[in-house]
């Protein structure tokens, strides 16, 4: 039996596997993890067709270039933009167009907003370099819309495959927190990651306190400095009990310590217990609720 050549295998894959995998992809609201799973399956199939393994050390860009295929983010975004242009050319009385441009009058439920199809479409427009304020007019021409979508997404895909890490950081990172220790150029996307790095790597280093990069409301300025440096100073106390003068390391420790002063002593209990006396029989009760219950019994007996 003759062996099937590479061109025939790729044609069968594009005609059978990809349409089945991407059936209804134009209506999907895909997250990053969904795209990653689809792209993993897509590249695994292409590697099996080429007969290569991970030991050959072929990059994803090389596999796609050899097979003359696009990545899964390109295919899903292209299908979504194609459907977006079709909706834009519908009449105003059609239900899909009314759902796309309509808004609910009721307030949304509590919690984080769910991922909508329109949010994914806006991201696709951004990747294709199509302006959001004029896409509706551009979508009226079918051929022009297809050309703009494919050319813009092809350019974005080329940039993503050549510099995937830089593209991801540019889209998802908002503020960069840099370590202030000398000879340490580590950067983090959150203040918590920076604080954890300083506690683990620079615990014994005396780091000068610098103002935080984010606006946070803390109980005191010294506490904010100690959070940024990763450790509290052992010589100066941050939280002092106003009753006994005990020094606590944190606000929670001071709160737990303050509860000890609110517990009444034995003398206080003895003096307070003598105030709850029944006026009918002279019985001494421990608290007001006990005196109330006892007074009700005395009233019924009399």
Give residue-wise pLDDT tens across range 195-205.
888 777 776 65
Q: Which residue has the higher pLDDT, 266 or 149?
A: 149
Q: Which residue has the higher pLDDT, 106 or 38?
A: 38
3-state secondary structure the chain: CCCCCHHHHHHHHHHHHHHHHCCCHHHCCCCHHHHHHHHHHHHHHHHHHHCCCHHHCCCHHHHHHHHCCCCHHHHHHHHHHHHHHHHHCCCCCCHHHHHHHCCCCCCCCCCCCCCCHHHHHHHHHHHCCCCCCCHHHHCCCHHHHHHHHHHHHHHHHHHHHHCHHHHHHHHHCCCCEECCCCCCCCEECCHHHHHHHHHHHCCCCCCCCCCCCCCCCCCCHHHHHHHHHCCCCCCCCCEECCCCCCEECCHHHHHHHHHHHHCCCHHHHHHHHCCCECCCCCCECCCHHHHHHHHHHHHHHC
Lowest mean pLDDT among 126-135, 217-226, 274-283: 217-226
Q: Is the pLDDT of residue 212 over 50?
A: no
What is the pLDDT confidence band of residue 72, given thresholds at 50, 70 and 90? Answer: very high
pLDDT, tens only, 167-196:
444 555 556 778 877 778 788 777 778 888
């Amino acid at each position: 039996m003759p062996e099937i050549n590479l061109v025939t295998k790729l044609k069968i894959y594009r005609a059978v596997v990809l349409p089945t995998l991407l059936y209804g992809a134009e209506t999907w609201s895909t997250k990053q993890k969904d795209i990653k799973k689809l792209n993993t399956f897509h590249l695994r199939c292409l590697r099996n067709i080429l007969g290569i393994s991970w030991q050959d050390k072929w990059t994803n860009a090389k596999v796609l270039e050899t097979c003359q295929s696009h990545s899964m983010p390109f295919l899903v975004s292209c299908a979504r933009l194609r459907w977006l242009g079709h909706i834009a050319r519908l009449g105003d009385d059609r239900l899909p167009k009314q759902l796309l441009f309509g808004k609910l009058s009721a307030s949304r439920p509590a919690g984080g907003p769910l991922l909508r199809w329109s949010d994914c479409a806006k991201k696709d427009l951004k990747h294709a370099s199509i302006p959001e304020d004029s896409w509706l007019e551009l979508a009226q021409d079918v051929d022009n819309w297809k050309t703009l979508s494919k050319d813009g997404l092809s350019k974005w895909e080329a940039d993503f495959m050549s510099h995937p890490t830089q593209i991801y950081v540019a889209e998802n990172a908002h503020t960069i927190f840099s370590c202030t220790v000398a000879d340490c150029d580590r950067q983090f996307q959150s203040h918590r990651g920076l604080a954890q790095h300083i506690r683990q790597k620079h615990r014994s280093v005396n780091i000068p306190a610098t103002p935080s990069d984010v606006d946070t409301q803390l109980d005191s300025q010294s506490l904010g400095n100690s959070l940024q440096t990763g450790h509290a100073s052992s010589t100066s106390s941050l939280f002092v009990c106003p009753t006994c003068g005990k020094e606590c390391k944190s606000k929670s420790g001071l709160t737990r310590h303050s509860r000890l002063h609110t517990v009444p002593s034995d003398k206080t209990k003895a003096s307070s217990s003598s105030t709850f006396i029944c006026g009918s029989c002279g019985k001494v009760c421990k608290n007001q609720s006990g005196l109330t219950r006892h007074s009700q019994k005395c009233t019924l007996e009399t």
